[in-house]
Amino acid sequence: MYDLIVIGGGPAGLAAACTAWEKGVKRILIVERDKELGGILNQCIHNGFGLHHFKEELTGPEYAGRFIRMLEDTGVEVRLDTMVLTVTPDRQVHMVGKDTGYHIEEAKAIVLAMGCRERTRGAIAIPGQRPAGVFTAGAAQRYVNMEGWLPGRRVVILGSGDIGLIMARRMTLEGAQVLACVEVMPYSGGLNRNIVQCLHDYDIPLYLSHTVTDIRGRERVEQVVVSQVDERRQPIPGTEMVFDCDTLLLSVGLIPENELTRQAGITIDPRTNGAVVYENMETSMPGVFACGNVAHVHDLVDFVTAESQRAGAAAADYILGTAQQDGPVLEVKNGDGVTYTVPQHIRPNRVDRRCDLFFRVNRICKDSQIRVTSGDTLIAQFPREHLAPGEMEHIVLPRTLLDKASETITVSIQEVESK
């Protein structure tokens, strides 16, 4: 019997386990399916991590390394190369590994930290032939950065998410020619800094409002056809550009990896594709918490760490019996311009001083107000010069304001009239 089982040894799982240990939880087990801790950070060898958390700029492996060393100073147990197959509602965790065998372990609390996976060609229905050479950007990143293999020499990238942009630079520096980065939306899905230092620095063109409309090649990709799209994202005939290339990388979105969560019967929010969570990252199943990209897809690992520390602390409270009484529950609703919020439920009684609220917007907004209302009452308002779907937003609601709300609070965006 463990006090806490953490499923996943990436940044979320590491932070949750470290914090739970600091709070006094003794028997903690991390189950990691890979042969090492650190998760996807191990293949994110570029820098830019840690500015918020460590106040310095680290590479992915360095960021992971700091937490791995922190964990080494604790008594947290780790099982590597071990896959969790099932989580039951009575908090039994079935796991299997080549060296660790098949085990059913029980825990007082569980932290779900399985991360996310990439959307594929099938999810976006790119027509054409089906040759080899179409990779998700993350799979290509693993080949290049960890295994030392270049998956192709002439590359087109679909999607301007950060992984796609980062891979444009990586492939270029490894000697491949990146011909274009193609984005269906009229704006990039990645961070501005990555457009500059991954595309502009290497003269790689970014085609906004374009998409891939055909893949050609019998055995291996030979050509990719790119077309401009209209406002409804439909390809415009006559705008086709043909690129001779052997590789198409896809950076077309991430999906939280919630098969275990669903199987356990935990409520899922179709907007985040993650578990519905309370202010402390507790799911609909008492004692089961979710944090990091399994709860909702983040842009920055620093925010994953912060969220996972809250989950780890809450799991500790649950295990040690130090949690506050529930009290009333506020449902957080998405108002105009907002696609999702995390948490989806807030128990003001459980909020110590402040409650972090994360959300994404559905369009680019300039000079806007983030409005938090309860019924007809405006309880808080936050000005923003710039909001974009590619950038997760964060507001902090003080407990005193939450106490003014009843039943629901709604987060919405109000654009100030342009001058």
Partner 1 sequence: MYDVLIIGCGITGAAAAFHLSRYQLKIAVLEQENDVADGTTKANSAILHAGYDPEPGTLMARLNVRGAQLAKDLCAKLDVPYLPCGSLVLAFSPEDDATLHTLLQRGQTNGVPELRLLTGDEAREMDPNLSDRVTSALYAPTAAICSPWEYCLALAETAVRNGAELHLDTAVTGLERQEDGWLVRTSKGDFRSRYVINAAGVWAQAVHEMAAPATFTIRPSRGQYFLLDKSEGSRVGHVIFQCPGPNGKGVLVAPTVHGNLIVGPDATPVEGDDVSTTADGLAFVRDTALKSVPSVNFRESIRNFAGVRSSTDRGDFIIELAAPHFLDLAGICSPGLTAAPAIAEYATQLLAGDGLALAEKKDFICHRRRTRFHDLSPQEKAKLVEREPAYGRVICRCETVTEGEILEALRSPIPPRSVDGVKRRVGAGMGRCQGGFCGPRVVEILARELGVTPDHIVQDKAGSWLLASQTKGG
Partner 2 sequence: MKELICIVCPKGCHLKVDEAQNYAVSGNSCPRGEEYGRIELTHPTRVVTSTVRCTGGAHPRCPVKTSAPIPKALIQQAVRCLDGVELTAPIHTGDIVVSNICNTGISFVATRDL
Choose between 246 and 279: whose C-beta lies nearer to partner 1.
Answer: 246
Of the listed pieces 16-24, 123-131, 307-315, 407-415, which binds partner 1 according to CB under 8 A?
123-131
**Does residue 300 belong to the site contacting partner 2 (CB under 8 A)?**
yes
**Does residue 74 belong to the site contacting partner 2 (CB under 8 A)?**
no
In one letter, which amino acid is 228? Q
Interacting positions 132-161 with partner 2 (CB under 8 A):
144-148
Residue 312 interacting partner from partner 2, partner 1, none (CB closer than 5 to 8 Å by kind): none
Of the listed pieces 62-70, 106-114, 120-128, 357-365, which binds partner 2 according to CB under 8 A?
62-70
Residue pair 342/278 in contact by the 8 Å Cβ criterion: no
Residue 128: DSSP 8-state: B
DSSP character string of 282-318? B-SSTTEEE-GGGTS--S-HHHHHHHHHHHHHHHHHH
Joined tokens for residue 412? 């919405």
The H or E element spanning position 406 is none
**Does residue 149 belong to the site contacting partner 1 (CB under 8 A)?**
yes
The pairing of strands 47-49 and 58-59 is: antiparallel
Q: What angle do helix axes 60-72 and 301-320 make, rounded to 10 degrees?
A: 20
Cα dist from 175 to 71, 150, 158, whole Å: 38, 9, 19
Choose between 152 and 335: whose C-beta lies nearer to partner 2.
Answer: 152
Taking the C-alpha atoms of residue 316 and residue 18, their distance in angstroms, rounded to an integer, is 11
Closest distance to partner 1 from the beta carbon of 176 (Å):
8
Rg (CA), the chain: 22
The separation between CA 407 and the C-alpha centre of its own chain, rounded to angstroms, equals 29
Contacts of 310 (CB under 8 A, 6+ apart): 280, 281, 291, 356
Give backbone dihedrals phi and psi of 105, rounded to 5 degrees, phi first: -110, 145
Closest distance to partner 1 from the beta carbon of 189 (Å):
18
**Does residue 153 belong to the site contacting partner 1 (CB under 8 A)?**
yes
Closest distance to partner 2 from the beta carbon of 357 (Å):
19
Choose between 99 and 231: whose C-beta lies nearer to partner 2.
Answer: 99
Residue 220 interacting partner from partner 1, partner 2, none (CB closer than 5 to 8 Å by kind): partner 1
**Does residue 151 belong to the site contacting partner 1 (CB under 8 A)?**
yes
The one among 33, 46, 360, 371 contacting partner 2 by CB under 8 A: 46
Residues near partner 1 (CB under 8 A) are: 33, 81, 83, 85, 94, 96-104, 117-118, 120-123, 125, 127-133, 136, 138-139, 142-144, 147-153, 174, 176, 213, 218-220, 235, 246, 259, 262
Residues in contact with partner 2 by CB under 8 A are 35-36, 42, 45-48, 51, 57, 59-62, 64-65, 144-148, 173-174, 191-193, 195-197, 201, 299-300
